[in-house]
């Protein structure tokens, strides 16, 4: 019904206008501001200053986000694989009930949980000490880059595992049974049969997780306030302490670039996948 198209446009217009005004416009504003000096002239000054001050933090951010994403993928694959291949219904049911919990826990609450759990006197150290595995007086806490990674992986694994296990469950069981009959073990079926068929779902999940990690401000502040820290914290600091929007936006541009890197990996994979078929 092409004649009624104007009405369709009218129906989406308000939602579209809100996103354009309150997301796309500020996004453009941040890009322009990143490339503008204090006197209003276009320049790269902000980037010179950014790399001068924050190169360590940019590398730190990249490493944290990359390691967290990789670990999230690994655990999600393991959970998804066990949910589909696990031979013991009781263990599968228990795992299915267990793994989803962090998905519904807000980031800020997760950060507060980990702030106490991973501290020097937190439950992790105390439990290991009680079990006789470590001596708590000689340990420091994990409240640094390791804590940020633990929190990100804890929070994002259930989301990716949910997507991946759903995709795995929808696969044709025949190939799994065939491999099993030929004597393949669970690990081999997971790596050689299940995972290759769910790469696109896995990549989408991991990219969403990756972008989320680059957007969360509360976790790095609450887990590890000191230096080096993530660029999200630096952005807030530049604005709150110096009202320096130029450098803050230059750091924002760097965060878009890092996110773009993730998307680029995805597109490249997809193109390669298409040409191979």
- Among 47, 49, 96, 129, interactor with other proteins by CB under 8 A: 129
**Tokens for 83?**
């949910």
Q: Are 103 and 158 in contact (CB under 8 A)?
A: yes
CB closer to other proteins, 11 vs 178: 11
Which CB, 124 or 194, lies closer to other proteins?
A: 124
What is the helix (H) or strand (E) element at residue 50, kind and residue range? helix 45-85
Which of 22, 44, 74, 191 touches other proteins by CB under 8 A?
22
Q: Which is nearer to other proteins, 110 or 189 (CB)?
A: 110
Q: Which of 17, 48 has the CB closer to other proteins? A: 17
Site size toward other proteins, by CB under 8 A: 86
Q: Is residue 120 within the footprint of other proteins (CB under 8 A)?
A: yes
Give yes or no for a contact between 165 and 83, defined as CB atoms under 8 angstroms apart: yes
194 binds other proteins per the rule CB under 8 A: no
Q: HSE on the CB side for 180, CA within 13 Å?
A: 11
CA distance 57 to 250: 13
214 belongs to the binding site for other proteins (CB under 8 A) = yes
Per CB under 8 A, which of residues 73..102 are in contact with other proteins? 88, 91, 94-95, 98-102
Contact call for residue 71 and other proteins (CB under 8 A): no
Tokens standing for 48?
């010179």
Contacts of 173 (CB under 8 A, 6+ apart): none
Do 118 and 150 contact (CB within 8 A), yes or no?
yes
Contact with other proteins (CB under 8 A) among 148, 235, 246, 247: 235
Q: Which of 23, 51, 242, 264 binds other proteins (CB under 8 A)?
A: 23
Q: Does 200 bind other proteins (CB under 8 A)?
A: no
| Integer Rg of the chain from CA | 23
Binder to other proteins among 67, 171, 179, 239 (CB under 8 A)?
239
> Site mask, other proteins, residues 157-186, x = CB under 8 A?
---------x--------------------
């Amino acid at each position: 019904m092409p004649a009624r198209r104007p009405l369709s446009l009218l129906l989406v217009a308000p939602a579209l206008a809100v996103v354009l005004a309150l997301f796309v416009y500020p996004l453009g504003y941040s890009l322009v501001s990143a490339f503008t000096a204090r006197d209003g002239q276009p320049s790269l000054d902000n980037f010179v200053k950014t790399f001068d001050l924050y190169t360590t933090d940019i590398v730190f951010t990249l490493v944290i986000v990359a390691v967290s994403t990789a670990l999230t993928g690994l655990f999600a694959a393991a959970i998804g694989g066990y949910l589909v291949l696990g031979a013991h219904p009781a263990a599968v049911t228990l795992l299915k009930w267990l793994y989803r919990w962090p998905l519904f826990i807000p980031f800020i609450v997760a950060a507060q949980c980990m702030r106490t759990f991973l501290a020097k006197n937190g439950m992790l150290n105390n439990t290991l000490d009680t079990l006789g595995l470590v001596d708590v007086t000689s340990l420091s806490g994990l409240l640094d880059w390791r804590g940020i990674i633990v929190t990100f992986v804890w929070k994002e694994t259930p989301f990716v595992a949910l997507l991946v296990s759903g995709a795995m469950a929808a696969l044709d069981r025949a190939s799994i049974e065939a491999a099993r009959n030929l004597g393949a073990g669970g690990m081999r079926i997971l790596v050689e049969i299940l995972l290759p068929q769910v790469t696109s779902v896995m990549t989408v999940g991991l990219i969403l997780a990756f972008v989320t990690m680059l957007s969360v401000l509360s976790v790095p502040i609450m887990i590890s306030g000191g230096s080096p820290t993530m660029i999200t914290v630096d952005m807030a600091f530049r604005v709150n302490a110096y009202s320096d929007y130029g450098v803050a936006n230059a750091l924002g541009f760097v965060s878009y670039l890092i996110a773009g890197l993730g998307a680029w990996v995805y597109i490249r994979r997809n193109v390669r996948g298409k040409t191979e078929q």
